[in-house]
Amino acid sequence: MTGIILVTHAGLGESLRHQAEVILGKLAPMTTVSISYGADPDLALTELIAALGMGSDVDGAVVLTDLPGATPHNLAQKAAGSRGVPVISGVNLPMLLKVINHADKPPNELAAMASLGGHQGIMNS
């Protein structure tokens, strides 16, 4: 299983996780890291590196972030870069459900599926 690390602005990751668990009817195997407004970036980076260590499975991990270029994403890039962990930004509920349901895939394949799932979940009708 590939570990799932959800790194978001405070409250968003926990809410997405909760809704995914309600929809799936089971606990979602993932680690959430919330970055609060005004958080010390060095402290948050240390917390994120620890979360990557704890949340990674033998197969590795993928990191999902909420907003490209924002603090959670930038910190995730720093923490994951040295480990070769893929970081996908723009998380939405369809993306998260896709990742949870296919966590048996290797990290790079799961990252591609995450991106696809996020795009497929956007409708203009």
58-90 pLDDT per residue, tens: 778 999 999 999 999 999 999 998 788 999 999
Decide: helix, strand or coil at residue 98. Answer: helix
- Of 96, 28, 94, give the one whose Cα is nearest residue 62: 96
pTM of structure: 0.94
Domain boundaries, given as residue ranges, for the chain: 3-120
Tokens describing residue 10: 């405070």
pLDDT of residue 55: 76
Domain 3-120 in CATH 3.90.700.10: no
